[in-house]
Amino acid sequence: MRARQRGVALVSVLLVMSLALLIIGGVLRSHRLLLQSSGQQLQQLHLRQLGMAGETWALSLLKAQQKDSDLIPDPTPDFDVEDAQIHISIEDLAGRFNLNALLIEGQTDQVTLKRWARLLALLELPDLQLEQVGALQELSQLRLLPGVDGERLRRLEPWVALLPASAALNINTAPALILRTLDGIEAVETDALLRQRSTTPWPSVQAFTQDPLLSGKGLSSHGLGIDSRWYRITVQVTQGRSRLRLATDVERDAKTRQWNILQRRVLPSNSNEIAQ
């Protein structure tokens, strides 16, 4: 009987020890996960601080502009800070197609509408009747149109912006695809225009429309300009296997010339931004 009682007691002790070990193991795993999570959060905080530093540097570059027509150096230099690499790009949003220029005081602007149709054709996208949506605050509003899905928005996003309706297309910063939306400009002419622009930007819209490369095109100056007050600063920070992309849209006030941050977003390391 005593031997049996000792056996039961031993089994009880072993069960208690096993239970204690399981509890301790669970606590240690939770503690390890907590430490890993805290470490990741600290690293993300550090990356964000570096991203903000890159944004501040880019803003200082923009503040150095004397006129709205001054061009930003392209490309901007990369930086190594501690064991992290910082890549900064500054994009003139006035070099994109301004969707809000299609509707002015509720009326469709016919010249801009033709350019919009050319852009859709170049991107091999179906016709999108933006007047059915009205004034746009975010690009994602286009999902209200039939047949518009995430993939089509991703194809469109790099080429369009949502600026005030009065914002003109900056011919000195517009990429080749956007220049091809203008009346009668083909790919070969666009390449020649870009080569010329890289060394001698156009001093005025008139100089652009009267450029010998565009002779006989009858190019309309409507909606074109050489100034900009809207930019997107994108900072990518890489530290080991960790990355962070910070996108900040800024605007220079026309009267005070002070810079205002319109929105700031942390983006996935490889993606286009849909909501603007």
Domain boundaries, the chain: 40-93+228-267, 97-219
Residue 87 phi/psi, 5-degree rounding, is -115, 130
Q: What torsion do the CA atoms of 133, 136, 137, 142 make, to the nearest 10 degrees?
A: 60
Which amino acid would we find at residue 236? Q
Is the pLDDT confidence value at 21 over 90?
Answer: no
How far apart are alpha carbons 56 and 62 in whole angstroms?
10
DSSP state of 146: T
Cα angle value 209/215/218 (rounded, 5°): 60
Nearest to 61 by CA among 46, 75, 41: 75
Token pair recorded at residue 171: 């011919």
In percent, the amount of the chain with pLDDT more than 90 equals: 50
Amino acid 191: pLDDT: 93
Nearest to 135 by CA among 176, 105, 115: 105
Is the pLDDT confidence value at 82 over 70?
Answer: yes
Amino acid 72: pLDDT: 84
Q: What would the DSSP string read from start to end of 178-201? A: HHTTSTT--HHHHHHHHHHHHHS-
Its pTM stands at: 0.81
Token pair recorded at residue 222: 């409507």
Q: What is the mean pLDDT of residues 124-141?
A: 82
Tens of pLDDT along 240-272? 888 999 999 999 999 999 999 999 998 865 545
Amino acid 194: pLDDT: 95
Residue 183 — very low, low, confident or very high, per pLDDT cuts 50/70/90?
Answer: confident
| The CATH fold of domain 40-93+228-267 | Pantoate--beta-alanine Ligase; Chain: A,domain 2 (3.30.1300)
Q: What torsion do the CA atoms of 254, 255, 258, 264 make, to the nearest 10 degrees?
A: -40
Is the pLDDT confidence value at 29 over 80?
Answer: no
DSSP state of 143: G
Task: Look at 146 and 206; give whichever has higher pLDDT.
Answer: 206
Tens of pLDDT along 30-73? 656 554 555 567 777 888 899 999 999 999 999 998 888 888 87
Task: Look at 88 and 25; give whichever has higher pLDDT.
Answer: 88
Residue 274 — very low, low, confident or very high, per pLDDT cuts 50/70/90?
Answer: very low
